[in-house]
Structure 1
Amino acid sequence: MLKTLFALCALLLVLALYKNPALPETKVIAEQLSQEPSQVAVPPAPFKVDKNGVNYTIEPLFRYEIYGLVVSKYNTDSWWGWAHKAWNDHLNVTDLCVVWGANALSGAYRDISFSSGQWTCNFETSSDAAWQAFDVNKISNNHLLTDDPQLAKKLKSIRIGDQIHLTGQLANYRHSFGNGFNRGTSTVRTDTGNGACETIFVSELNVLRSAPSMWRYLMWLAVLGMLATAAIGFMRPHRASS
């Protein structure tokens, strides 16, 4: 009996890992995601911030606001990431790849596979119909900057499938620590390739609707079930072999 329960929990865990993180059904997409990102030029007014002993110069270009569905993400302190550590870039705490407009409201994202690298958002599909339905001008990879520890924690906690509202400033930033570092930002949504990502010094983040949580709960339920059955099996008396 215990072996059967353990096997069932293991199967549930595999299924939950495959399904999680899950993107939401189209019917629960917030209406605000129909809006295009908004940007308004600001007067040149560079400012400085310090983080982890590094002094950064921020050069705001536009006030920026975006509503979007998070389809992929990368936290820059991930164990496999090296670039931001090598660059002494402690401001860029996470990258969020988001879709909006028709890509969100029509469900075009449902048949697309998304992934994030250290500075990229990648998407692909084997379906010609899905590719035709997907607007490559309504997706963006956003490098999110902050020197506020609480906001950094909130940004890193965002999950794939969350629907968010983000405000801040499109900005270039740099530092002269060590070998120095300089990074710009895209100011249009129609570019691709190197330099096409938006670099945003974030002022506020709101989660409009959270990602589906069922598979995440089932994943932990499966883990607890496996641990419980293993513990019971270990504690049960065993008949000595003759």
Structure 2
Amino acid sequence: MRGRRLEGTGWREALAVALLAAAVGLGPFLPILLSREDAGSTAMARAGKAGSGPLAPDAPLQDDAPLQDDAGLPEIVTPDEMPDGWVIRPPAGYRILALVLSRERYRFDTLSAVSPLDLMFGWGPISDPEVADQLDFSQGYRFGYFSSDGKSPLPFAEILSSASNVHLIPASPGVREDLLDLDVGDLVELSGWLVDVEGPQGDRWKTSLVRTDGGAGACEILFVAEVKVTAR
């Protein structure tokens, strides 16, 4: 994720968020929740696991080896079904065990040609149902958002480093089906590569490689090779 929002929409939306946040007293550090039917509001109520402690205590594992290193990173990864003209390069291997906090399906933006879904993930303290249930999560325009109706259960910096909005690129039709089947409250393990993407018209998207950034460009782009659902 990193921060109040993860990928940008424009100054009008930003101004509206700032004014609305001030109106409800959230202050500058917690973004206003965009109301959506599939948003992750009270996610743990849906998960039905309150009081169990963190479900995914560890941060994602990332292999930062450069492409030319002998760590086994491919120079280019290609989904089984990919439109012509797309190039996907992995700067790092990646594995994440996390709780799904929110999901957003994309069909019409440019990146949706290879990435049909964004998921907001939480690990560490955010994967504790009692903590996550005190925060509201939502997504839109390739951003992730979180807010609190009252006092935040965690410091802003800790939320920032324990949750993420991730653009997902399935490696195969089967992986695509598995990803689209995921829902808020699922505990899931994904493995694959963090990737930089270049589209046929020269559009480029670079993945985040750290867990503490915020704003535009702070989302991970994950080429997903394997999906494992640990709990639903």
TM above 0.5: yes
Secondary structure, in 3 states, of the residue corresponding to 1:111? coil
Specify whether residues 132 and 41 from structure 1 end up closer, same or farther in structure 2 by C-alpha distance, changes over 3 A only: closer
Partner residue of 1:55 out of 81, 85, 107: 85
- Once the two structures are TM-superposed, the CA of residue 48 in structure 1 deviates from its matched residue by 5.4
Whether 1:114 and 2:143 are equivalent positions in the alignment is no
**Given the two structures, how large is their TM-score scaled by the length of structure 2?**
0.70
Per-residue CA shift, 1:59-97, capped at 9, x if unaligned? 1111111111101011123xxxx32xxx26421121110
Divergent runs of 4+, >6 A: 18-21
**Counterpart residue number, 2:219:** 197
- Structure 2 distance, partners of 1:174, 1:29, is 40
Partner residue of 1:158 out of 177, 182, 186: 182
1:61/1:170 contact within 8 Å kept: yes
The 5 A counterparts of 1:158-197 are 158-176=182-200, 179-197=201-219
**Given the two structures, how large is their TM-score scaled by the length of structure 1?**
0.68
Q: Which has the higher helix share?
A: 1
- Structure 2 distance, partners of 1:62, 1:53, is 23
- Structure 2 distance, partners of 1:29, 1:47, is 39
Whether 1:148 and 2:172 are equivalent positions in the alignment is yes
CA RMSD of aligned residues (A): 2.5
2:106/2:112 contact within 8 Å kept: no
2:100/2:187 contact within 8 Å kept: yes
1:141/1:197 contact within 8 Å kept: yes
**Counterpart residue number, 1:222:** none
Tell me the matched-pair count: 183
- Structure 2 distance, partners of 1:151, 1:30, is 26
Structure 2 residue runs without a partner (length 5+): 1-40, 68-73
